[in-house]
Amino acid sequence: METDSSPSNSTIYDVAKLAGVSIATVSRVLNGHSHLKDSTRALVLQSVKELQFVPNNAARGLSSGSKRVIGLLFVRTQSEDFLEIVQESLLFTDSVIRGAERAASEQGYSLLLGGVESDRQAETVDRMISMCDGLVLLDRTLSDREVPVIARRVPTVLLAGNGRARSAFTVRVDNAEAMSRIAHHLVLEHARTRLAFLSGFAASPDSQARREGFVRGALECGAVVEDDPLWFSDYTSSGAVQVIERRVATGAPLPQAIACANDQAAIGAIHALKRSGLRVPRDVAVTGFDDISVARHVSPTLTTVHQPVQQLGTTAVQVLLQALQSPKRTIPLSTVLPTTLMLRQSCGCDQ
Amino acid sequence: METDSSPSNSTIYDVAKLAGVSIATVSRVLNGHSHLKDSTRALVLQSVKELQFVPNNAARGLSSGSKRVIGLLFVRTQSEDFLEIVQESLLFTDSVIRGAERAASEQGYSLLLGGVESDRQAETVDRMISMCDGLVLLDRTLSDREVPVIARRVPTVLLAGNGRARSAFTVRVDNAEAMSRIAHHLVLEHARTRLAFLSGFAASPDSQARREGFVRGALECGAVVEDDPLWFSDYTSSGAVQVIERRVATGAPLPQAIACANDQAAIGAIHALKRSGLRVPRDVAVTGFDDISVARHVSPTLTTVHQPVQQLGTTAVQVLLQALQSPKRTIPLSTVLPTTLMLRQSCGCDQ
DNA sequence: TTGTATGCGTTATCAT
DNA sequence: ATGATAACGCATACAA
């Protein structure tokens, strides 16, 4: 049922006819085969240009088995964030997308986007699988149980996580190590010994690794980290506000420093602390993770961990394409990219 | 049992065999046809689940003519984020991408990304055409001459064009109307009657429309707008600084308000005015356009025009899908989205 | 209600 | 060096 009212493109048959050769020859020219007479090649290319011929990618994929598309699955949030400032900032996912698109394009691949909403997860995942040669999964897109199932069906790279997954390739930064450095800094440079870690989703491998590293670093310096379910949140600014409000309401003295699982949460936390009449960093130091672009514009400027976000996307795609193109070669299961500690005002530095 | 390590997915034939029906029946079940016995439908669905069957989208596209993919073409800058301008243009594009992806997903379509670099433009465009049912072109991705050529080959929506293109659908905001409102505000609320408009590139349709709207709005209120080539600049902060410096050097009394073609220019203008010992907004009010994220962080906070960026992406896709799904129905060639006046300190509000 | 057979536009395997 | 022709996996017109 072709409602083909408008731009019906020409096919390889049209080109062949115009050039007076067979479709096989046209195909060979298009795919850069050798053993072709220069004159016929020129003839074919001339016809291609004349007809504005572009190969039908669906047919190509069907025939060759390679669609030259890689898919990026990310979490699409349903609700808007109440802090416009965060909403408008260049977010993690956006940068990853940019990096991934660039890397894919460099190899002649295209990037297909798949925003996952919880209630239509299966539908989106299936659609992506059917359209892509391989997938990149951002953190929290799929549950730990589902990842192996997907990875068995299509080559998969996990972006983020702790690197322990054995079912798929992983590209990540060393979350734990970075947070350990933050803990050391807060204790040794700013003499904060009563600490807290504001977690992202409890199920997020990134958040888990960050928490684990922070706690370990703190203990190494003889500091303590509050251990209360209250500190588990959801990566959002509003979630962080709630945590702080509830914590303040307990009446107990606040920790001297709060490390947050990401920048959004940190910004929310600072907001809530200020509203409670507390000074940041004087009364409570706050740190983030990601180094989103607004981190240096908020007041106080945010001490955080810079991730090479675009490069995460780029690397994920490169790993995936390697796995796709040379399935036999052994590729490291886990790739770790370096982070940079950005010391700004919110920890007490750079006043 | 046997573990199929290589992701070779099953086909409609496998499902048919397992269910004991023909592939036509399987296809019908998958595509929600009626006139199917409930028992057979159940049988097929059971087999689908058992085999984890996902239809091959390439085959589907080949057969049906619809790939259920729409493409988004945008300018991919070569250099990374060392220029603020680049950074902000990233934000715009990213938000559009988000909006577009959401709208596509809601209709069961996927969004394919195509970052265009000047030196490989044709390659990228051809790839996108071959893979997509329709395209969304961001402003400045392709030259005015090329757009009609593309639009003739595949349904196309122009995002943020000037609205005059007759070759493709256009989705944009009403620049002129927004600037007219700014003029009204400056005159009626802040009693500024001697005004100026700091233009972007003289050739920019956006800038032209904004200037035209501002002048019209001012005249409607009995105010005057300085008419001097001096006020034509280039959208940049440094360009705006130069304009202000030259204007101050003339010795003539400055206008009471300066509306700028975009936020970057406004920020530069404020900077230069302050350096000349003038107070903003007290001596000279300044306004911008775009509402970039730093607009609310500069001092004074910047009065400007907010564009619904995500919605631009959403709407572009919706228009495209309508054109795709009902080619016969007449669809407005141009869709205009509303802007919001963001009244902050630089015009004299919100002190 | 269901099955059979054909076509979609390529690539790739044979031939020649 | 080039030409026939068979897949590729699905949707659908036509039969039954």
Place of tokens 């085999």: B51
**pLDDT at residue number A299:** 83
Report the C-alpha gap between A102 and B117 in whole angstroms. Answer: 10
Same domain membership, residue B204 and residue B167:
no
Strand C contacted by B66 CB (< 7 A): no
- DSSP string computed for A199-253: BS-TT-HHHHHHHHHHHHHHHHTT-EE---GGGB--SSHHHHHHHHHHHHHT-SP
Backbone angles phi, psi at A96, to 5 degrees: -60, -45
Q: Is A76 on the interface with B (CB under 8 A)?
A: yes
Nearest alpha carbon to residue A89 among A261, A240, A264? A264
**pLDDT at residue number A6:** 42
B209 inside domain: yes
pLDDT in tens, B226-255: 999 999 998 888 899 999 999 999 999 999
Same domain membership, residue B192 and residue B147:
no
Same domain membership, residue B167 and residue B313:
yes
A24: nt with nearest C1' to CA: D3
Same domain membership, residue A99 and residue A118:
yes
Nearest-CB residue to A54 (from B52, B67, B129): B129
Chain B residues touching residue A141 (CB < 8 angstroms): none
Report the C-alpha gap between A199 and A232 in whole angstroms. Answer: 5
Nearest-CB residue to B57 (from A131, A152, A155): A131
Same domain membership, residue A235 and residue A144:
no
Residue B74 predicted with pLDDT over 50: yes
For B135, the 3-state DSSP assignment is strand
Res. A174 pLDDT band, cuts 50 70 90: very high
User: Is B94 close to A89, i.e. CB distance below 8 A?
Assistant: no
B247 inside domain: yes
Check which CATH number belongs to the domain holding B46 and give it: 1.10.260.40
Same domain membership, residue B137 and residue B38:
no
**Using omega within 30 degrees of 0 as the cis cutoff, is the peptide bond preceding B255 cis?**
no
Give the E-state strand segments of B38-177 in sequence order: 69-75, 110-116, 134-138, 156-159, 169-173
Mean pLDDT along residues B42-69 = 90
**pLDDT at residue number B289:** 94
Same domain membership, residue B304 and residue B192:
yes
Distance B331 CA to C13 C1' (A): 48
**Are B195 and B257 a contacting pair, CB within 8 Å?**
yes
**pLDDT at residue number A81:** 45
**pLDDT at residue number A333:** 81
- Least confident stretch, A129-133, A159-163, A265-269, A281-285: A159-163
Question: What does pLDDT average to over chain B?
Answer: 88
A65: nt with nearest C1' to CA: D8
Distance A13 CA to C4 C1' (A): 27
User: Is A129 close to B297, i.e. CB distance below 8 A?
Assistant: no
| Host domain of residue A92 | 69-173+309-338
Residue A7 predicted with pLDDT over 60: no
Residue B296 predicted with pLDDT over 70: yes
**pLDDT at residue number A90:** 53
Residue nearest to nucleotide D7 (CA to C1'): A63
**pLDDT at residue number A52:** 87
Chain B residues touching residue A88 (CB < 8 angstroms): 91, 95, 293
Q: Cα separations (Å) of A193 from A267, A301, A347, B83? A: 22, 22, 13, 40
More confident residue, A284 or B151: A284
Same domain membership, residue A259 and residue A166:
no
Report the C-alpha gap between A14 and A17 in whole angstroms. Answer: 5
Number of separate domains in chain A:
3
Q: What is the pTM of this model?
A: 0.85
**Are A96 and A72 a contacting pair, CB within 8 Å?**
yes
- Report residues 81-110 of A contacting strand D, contact meaning Cβ closer than 7 Å: none
Residue B9 predicted with pLDDT over 90: no
Question: What does pLDDT average to over chain A?
Answer: 88
- Least confident stretch, A125-129, A294-298, B1-5, B132-136: B1-5
The top-scoring range by mean pLDDT among A26-30, B75-79, B235-239, B292-296 is A26-30
- Least confident stretch, A12-21, A214-223, A323-332, B251-260: A323-332
Residue A87 predicted with pLDDT over 80: no
Res. B213 pLDDT band, cuts 50 70 90: very high
B63 inside domain: no
pLDDT in tens, B321-350: 998 887 666 777 889 999 999 999 999 997
B4 inside domain: no
Task: Return positions of chain C under 7 A from a protein CB.
Answer: 1-5, 7-13
Mean pLDDT along residues B186-199 = 97
**pLDDT at residue number B292:** 78
- Report residues 22-51 of B contacting strand D, contact meaning Cβ closer than 7 Å: 23-24, 27-28, 30-31
Check which CATH number belongs to the domain holding A163 and give it: 3.40.50.2300
Residue A328 predicted with pLDDT over 80: no
Chain A residues touching residue B97 (CB < 8 angstroms): 94, 97, 113
Q: Is B124 on the interface with A (CB under 8 A)?
A: yes
Residue A78 predicted with pLDDT over 80: no
**pLDDT at residue number B219:** 97
Same domain membership, residue B75 and residue B134:
yes
Q: Is A29 on the interface with B (CB under 8 A)?
A: no
Res. B202 pLDDT band, cuts 50 70 90: confident
